[in-house]
Amino acid sequence: MPYVNIKVTKEGGLDGTGPTVEQKGELIKGVTDLLEKVLNKNPATTFVVIDEVALEDWGIGGLSVPEFRKL
Amino acid sequence: MPYVNIKVTKEGGLDGTGPTVEQKGELIKGVTDLLEKVLNKNPATTFVVIDEVALEDWGIGGLSVPEFRKL
Amino acid sequence: MPYVNIKVTKEGGLDGTGPTVEQKGELIKGVTDLLEKVLNKNPATTFVVIDEVALEDWGIGGLSVPEFRKL
Amino acid sequence: MPYVNIKVTKEGGLDGTGPTVEQKGELIKGVTDLLEKVLNKNPATTFVVIDEVALEDWGIGGLSVPEFRKL
Amino acid sequence: MPYVNIKVTKEGGLDGTGPTVEQKGELIKGVTDLLEKVLNKNPATTFVVIDEVALEDWGIGGLSVPEFRKL
Amino acid sequence: MPYVNIKVTKEGGLDGTGPTVEQKGELIKGVTDLLEKVLNKNPATTFVVIDEVALEDWGIGGLSVPEFRKL
């Protein structure tokens, strides 16, 4: 019954607008397999939710990502 | 002072693009009433936040929802 | 496939240390029934997670709950 | 290593569609400075994520924000 | 800069009180490696936070986990 | 109506077991004041929830914090 929330910045993928459907599929499968292997969790009741966050909405070092990357 | 976060897949409603405004209103009212009835929480300081998650961003059984539903 | 997170302050219940097991059961059932009724969601894949938050860890009006209640 | 999530309604800013990039920058800087000052946390490993929530998806007093503001 | 939150029930491990330190380490490493492999994310700025949830605080099928497992 | 969640590691404070009540009060006040100043949010409906996370439950660089700090 795990619930996993993955938050990543909305970038990368084929056109820079965020992970591709295939990449998201790999994340979902990878996390589910990991929880099955390590904690014997049932994939059928393992939820994974991916959130893509706009660069301006993610802060690190006191700056938004776009500003941080100008340093 | 409860804070309730409801995450649902972005589907259903009138045109399949997600819950209608009315349905969201029912969820907000229903959860608020429930917390008042069960725990005597004050509706005036009960927050409910609804997140709609794209089908490709929700994983179950190691697959995204669209892939899972092809099984 | 909804995921619902309910955060409440750690108070109330029989001895003031937080909701009872029965009250939590009522919250889980009530939210699950609500999602089934309003959005036809399958209870078997509806997750509800309850978090109890210590009063000193919850702020409102710029104060922790214990301080706020002294006003 | 703090992780701070700020959820606000999608309103305000210059055109009512939500906080401006500058306002988000102020929130990121303000929270990061606060954690450095109060808990001596390293800004370089302080994450701040801002979520803007549509008014219809935020409930208070058992109503969505638009309905609540009609009272 | 990913932030990953893993919520699991507080069970398993050596004495049934939840995942061991080693198992948590495996989850942290596995998720971090996965994000590096799939999305080329930098492990140095990948946060993973694990939450253990008491069985009575986790609901599925409209019941708490202990009640659900009596079915 | 902002909701702010601050997750910090369970360390520091007077005896290393986590932020003091006073420090938490400073965080609550600081975040609430910041949202009032930047976005004109009403403190009376600004929630701040602080989560303290055990060091072993927080991962960075693919390691738990205790392991990471041994590098």
ipTM of the complex: 0.97
Identify the helix (H) or strand (E) that includes residue D21.
helix D21-39
Q: Are E5 and E11 in contact (CB under 8 A)?
A: no
Q: Do B47 and F47 touch (CB under 8 A)?
A: yes
Q: How sure is the predictor about F2, in pLDDT bands with cuts at 50, 70 and 90?
A: very high
**By a Cβ cutoff of 8 Å, what residues of chain D touch chain B?**
7, 53, 56-64, 67
Q: Is E37 left (phi over 0), alpha (psi -120 to 50) or beta?
A: alpha
The domain tally of chain E equals 1
Domain that holds residue E36: 3-68
**Cα C29 to chain centroid, rounded:** 12
pLDDT, tens digit, 9 for 90 and up, residues C52-63: 999 999 999 999
DSSP string of E5-71, one letter each residue: EEEEES--SSSSSS--HHHHHHHHHHHHHHHHHHH---GGG-EEEEEEE-GGGEEETTEEHHHHTT-
Q: How sure is the predictor about A14, in pLDDT bands with cuts at 50, 70 and 90?
A: confident
State the best of F9, F50, F64, F65 to mutate against chain E, taking most chain E CBs within 10 Å. F64
State the best of C6, C9, C60 to mutate against chain F, taking most chain F CBs within 10 Å. C60
Q: Whole-number mean pLDDT of chain A?
A: 96
* Closest approach of F16 to chain B, Cα-based (Å): 29
pLDDT, tens digit, 9 for 90 and up, residues E1-31: 899 999 999 999 888 899 999 999 999 999 9
pLDDT, tens digit, 9 for 90 and up, residues D2-26: 999 999 999 998 888 999 999 999 9
pLDDT, tens digit, 9 for 90 and up, residues C6-45: 999 999 988 889 999 999 999 999 999 999 999 999 999 9
Helix axes A21-39 and E21-39, enclosed angle (nearest 10): 160
Specify the CATH number for the domain of residue A21.
Answer: 3.30.429.10
* Annotation says B66 is catalytic: no
- The residue of chain E nearest to residue F7, with distances taken between CA atoms, is E49
Q: How sure is the predictor about A15, in pLDDT bands with cuts at 50, 70 and 90?
A: confident
pLDDT, tens digit, 9 for 90 and up, residues D35-54: 999 999 999 999 999 999 99
pLDDT of residue F15: 86
Average pLDDT, integer, range A6-27: 94
